[in-house]
Structure 1
Amino acid sequence: MGWNDQTEWWRHATVYQVYVRSFADGNGDGIGDLPGITARLPYLRDLGVDALWITPFYTSPQKDHGYDVADYCDVDPLFGRLSDADDLIATAHDLGLRLIVDLVPNHTSDAHPWFRAALAAGPGSPERARYLFRPGRGADGAEPPNNWESVFGGPAWTRVEDPSPGSGRPAEWYLHLFDSTQPDLDWRNPEVGDMFEDVLTFWLDRGVDGFRVDVAHGLFKEESLRDQVVADEPAQAAGDSSMVERRMRDEPMWDQPEVHEVYRRWRRILDKYDGQRMDVAEAWTQTPESMARFVRPDEMNQSFNFAWLLAPWSAQEFAAVITGTFDALRPVGATPTWVLSNHDVVRHVTRYGGGAQGLARAKAATMTMLALPGSSYLYQGEELGLEQAEVEPEFRQDPSWFRTGEPGRDGCRVPLPWGGDRPPFAFGSGDGHPWIPQPPDWEAITVEAQAGDPDSTLSFYRKALSARRGFATSAGDEVEMLDLGADVLAFRRGPVTAVLNCGTEPVALPEGEVLLASGPVDGTLPADTAVWLG
């Protein structure tokens, strides 16, 4: 791969994602906050991660839990104060942890001063030119400007009236690829790029180590805003890693070539700072090759590799993702990333079947991921073996639930259980339910319950991360794929051989000393189990 001569910390880091609302509640109001995170940083240090990425904590009406930003340079009172952000950064650094913050450049909140000014100013104004306002189609402009759909369901356009009654001008519509409270910015307006340069500088000056860039592939749309060509094709099933259908999809709202100049500009800013500052793209692109374009040498440092997350439980599918990722990244010299869960997808214990089998597979997949070159991203709670929780309709808060009636993402966002024998499981100092109620039967899987059990999922993660530190930077960046049968994924990386049995029967182990296993091994490797050999 050609990056082993580099020293950047993020190239081989393990990064832990903190969903702010659900990690730790410092003031007892049932909602996680920045002081809560700061108080629990020793836990992350002891877990063995190198960095944490925290979801948006900026001033926001919280229509999409912080991904609707009203002020990018302040902390929402729900989560604390600006001084709490400074304390979090400083404490993380004191403990040897890096801190990555979430940046949301595709859209603002409808409560952002820019959008409020745009509504007040009316059609044709400079204020509206910061967003994508367009006249409607049909009689009196009563139809949306095009046929685009929101990611959260329903039309991607909302109509607003002209603020000057009697002007005779037709009403305009504004684009929102997500919720109607999240109007998309027009990145062809230079004011937008200038504003985000100021935002980057603000947080870099305060000491953050990097940015996770939300919807990194969505900033630019085709300038004509033409209709999307919707083909008659089967929908991609959840967990389907096949890119055949996606490769043919017409997407004038995503992955436009102009977006790359934004990240070249950002790279120049990041490189001015000491301390190896970085950014990582959340870019749901259609192919590994298009993902690799985001991490060319003068653009972003990393991009999430969602093909690994999307792959079903299959040795051949996992192998295809590994080889496809390396083939795509080799020409640009970029580091791969590996991720199995985040705040937008069903937890992988549940995706892999749930219960004992789902947990066994989740641990085995995690071990395999941690053995690969590059960086690994973990999502809070997976080290406890959490499954997707059932959330009753009256407690659901995901905007996609309100737009589509589908359960949405709340089930992977339930607050963490830290200790005790009943909710809120020491999530906060109070006794009330957190913002999403926790399952009442989590007593056996709290941090407190698992910390002293050498056979717990938490202990397994600690062992795996500790062992990974021993070879993450020294084992090299080359992977030799091994053929041990159709149901077995195996590869050699330097002195370490990783073997994953995705089949239903035990298989023989290659020669070598067992460094770590995700379950019991005795001469053979059971189904749904992984092992590292040295």
Structure 2
Amino acid sequence: MSQHSADPAPNTALATVAGHRDWWRDAVIYQVYPRSFADSDGDGMGDLEGIRSRLPYLRALGVDAVWLSPFYASPQADAGYDVADYRAVDPMFGSLLDADALIRDAHAEGLRIIVDLVPNHSSDQYEWFKRALAEGPGSPLRNRYHFRPGKGVDGELPPNDWESVFGGPAWTRVPDGEWYLHLFAPEQPDFNWEHPAVGDEFRSILRFWLDMGVDGFRIDVAHGLVKAAGLPDLGTHDQLKLLGNDVMPFFDQDGVHAVYRDWRKILDEYAGEKIFVAEAWTPTVERTANYVRPDELHQAFNFQYLSTDWDAEELRRVIDRTLEAMRPVGAPATWVLSNHDVTRHATRFANPPGLGTQIRTAGERELGLRRARAATLLMLALPGSAYLYQGEELGLPDVVDLPDEVRQDPAYFRSAGQDGFRDGCRVPIPWTREGSSYGFGPGGSWLPQPSVWGELSVQAQQGVPGSTLELYRSALAVRRARPDLGAGETVEWLRAPEGVLAFRRGDFVCVANTTGEPVTIPAYGRVLLASGEVTEADGEARVPGDTTAWWASA
């Protein structure tokens, strides 16, 4: 009995789910990377109309909300995370009318829409920055960014030793001799959040999109807005290796929380339980919990969980620490395995542990998919909210052999920074078995798709028992049919063989075998779902290696 399904509860309109108070506490939220989801006009680039056409698919999948990565007007120096106009849609994705139609149609399907907000930095083509450069030193607009004179005899050295996350100095010198701070690409100058105009601007931006009807915001680099006073040097150690692992003068400063308390007041003015989700890389999950105190944000991504190897002991430790850290602040835990910045977990788990979240080799494909399916069932059984990244429901791997000439990740073109291989998880997803872009759009795709992707497409997997797509659909149907599954804040650990996680939540039991060998355990009742072939006899169950199973004990 490898896969059992349950009919999902009706999800016909947003009015239906609006009655589910605190919907975000156990929501399953699906990340759409717009340029790689669906292309409506054949230019090889995904767009809002393409997303709109696929909303019935997302509804049938069984998710509660859709998070859209940036679609704002942008020069696209960093795939839209360099915003030139926060109140406009980039023509490559459509128009504000398309955004309005997408939001309305999503609500009609019972789906909520969360949009990306990028408050740490703008594009260098943002009007403020262009004027600041044109007006020169002394311009009041330069105070809205971090402009500084350089060090050295002629100011030829950067103002401090900070490094860009993408590699190289975090400072760029302009022709008049001053330097400006950019923690990411030079085309992404950091705002100075000490300046009141910056706060005014983003309060206005929040209201603009809330008035458009969005249901929340995912906050990019939520930990980076406030910098330590005086912008002090960090020292000689390797800054890039410490990102997310140590206290940094440009990340996770306590002053950032005043910004979010201010924003929360705005959000609470609007009906319909709007939410904030933080992308906050912090040294510990306890520091992450600071972002989701009752008067701040609602959720924060759990990067500690995403970074954990497929290892029972490590997983249990991170699960326990996460639940313990969130409990005092009354926030739900969040769980995520893949996103647009890291290697997909079907490839990550196909490689030896300890390689991090940027992996350049395909690994053992069958092993990676088996572990990825098991890891997904484990994640969806935990209390809290879960995030899915587009295409993971198809079991897509990273594309690790993209030709250098097609790569667009800015980190790839800068030395000593991130590995620069994020393009591998951003390849457009396949919808059909045939076609120049496997149903992605009428034309080709902005990144080449592997020739084998036709057999991983939605068309190839839909309705096929045991397929990864049907496993996801069944898991989300079970979760929706059992409202207690995502709710709560604790798990009851059960005794299990080494390398096996087992926990109970009411009459529900989850067992995840992270070893490569089958294990025999008690049969906990009726098998609801399993990522592999579970067999039972004489009150015992045989769970294959790298497999997760769900039971109902009553």
Instruction: Give the TM-score of the pair, scaled to structure 1.
Output: 0.93
State the distance in 2 between where 1:13 and 1:19 align.
Answer: 19
**Which residue does 1:528 correspond to in 2?**
546
Query: Shift of the alpha carbon at 1:494?
Result: 1.6
- 1:170-181 alignment runs, 5 A limit: 171-181=177-187
CA contact (8 A) 2:161 2:235 kept: no
Q: Which has the higher contact order (CA 8 A, sep 6+)?
A: 2
**Which residue does 1:317 correspond to in 2?**
314
The question of 1:283 aligning with 2:280 is answered yes
The question of 1:95 aligning with 2:95 is answered no
**Which residue does 1:201 correspond to in 2?**
207
SS in 2 for 1:509: strand
CA contact (8 A) 2:433 2:455 kept: no
Match of 2:403 among 389, 392, 397: 392
**Which residue does 1:484 correspond to in 2?**
496
The question of 1:519 aligning with 2:532 is answered yes
Paired letter, 1:451: Q
CA contact (8 A) 2:34 2:71 kept: yes
CA contact (8 A) 1:481 1:491 kept: yes
Give ranges in structure 2 of 5+ residues lacking alignment: 1-19, 351-363, 536-540
The question of 1:379 aligning with 2:389 is answered yes
Aligned-pair identity in percent equals 58
State the distance in 2 between where 1:95 and 1:250 align.
Answer: 43
Give ranges in structure 1 of 5+ residues lacking alignment: 1-5, 163-170, 237-244
Match of 2:298 among 296, 301, 305: 301
The question of 1:141 aligning with 2:155 is answered yes
**Which residue does 2:15 correspond to in 1?**
none
SS in 1 for 2:292: coil
CA contact (8 A) 2:327 2:489 kept: no
**Which residue does 1:240 correspond to in 2?**
none
Q: 1:122 to 1:203 in 2, by over 3 A?
A: same
CA contact (8 A) 2:163 2:239 kept: no
- 1:116-155 alignment runs, 5 A limit: 116-155=130-169
Query: Shift of the alpha carbon at 1:231?
Result: 3.4
**Which residue does 1:494 correspond to in 2?**
506
Query: Shift of the alpha carbon at 1:250?
Result: 4.4
SS in 1 for 2:282: coil
Tell me how many residue pairs correspond in the alignment: 511
Match of 2:347 among 350, 355, 359: 350
1:496-534 C-alpha deviation (Å, 9 max, x unpaired) = 111100112221233221111011011211110000111
Match of 2:234 among 219, 228, 241: 228
**Which residue does 1:429 correspond to in 2?**
442
Q: 1:178 to 1:234 in 2, by over 3 A?
A: closer
State the distance in 1 between where 2:142 and 2:521 align.
Answer: 64
State the distance in 2 between where 1:459 and 1:210 align.
Answer: 29
1:22-55 C-alpha deviation (Å, 9 max, x unpaired) = 0000111000000000000000000110110000
**Which residue does 2:40 correspond to in 1?**
26
Query: Shift of the alpha carbon at 1:426?
Result: 1.0
**Which residue does 1:165 correspond to in 2?**
none
Q: 1:232 to 1:203 in 2, by over 3 A?
A: closer
**Which residue does 1:62 correspond to in 2?**
76
CA contact (8 A) 1:103 1:211 kept: yes
Paired letter, 1:449: A
State the distance in 2 between where 1:250 and 1:460 align.
Answer: 40
CA contact (8 A) 1:502 1:528 kept: yes
Match of 1:215 among 218, 221, 225: 221
Q: Which moved more, 1:117-126 or 1:386-395?
A: 117-126
The question of 1:258 aligning with 2:255 is answered yes
**Which residue does 1:336 correspond to in 2?**
333
Paired letter, 1:172: E
**Which residue does 1:166 correspond to in 2?**
none
Query: Shift of the alpha carbon at 1:478?
Result: 2.7
SS in 2 for 1:285: coil
State the distance in 2 between where 1:394 and 1:313 align.
Answer: 33
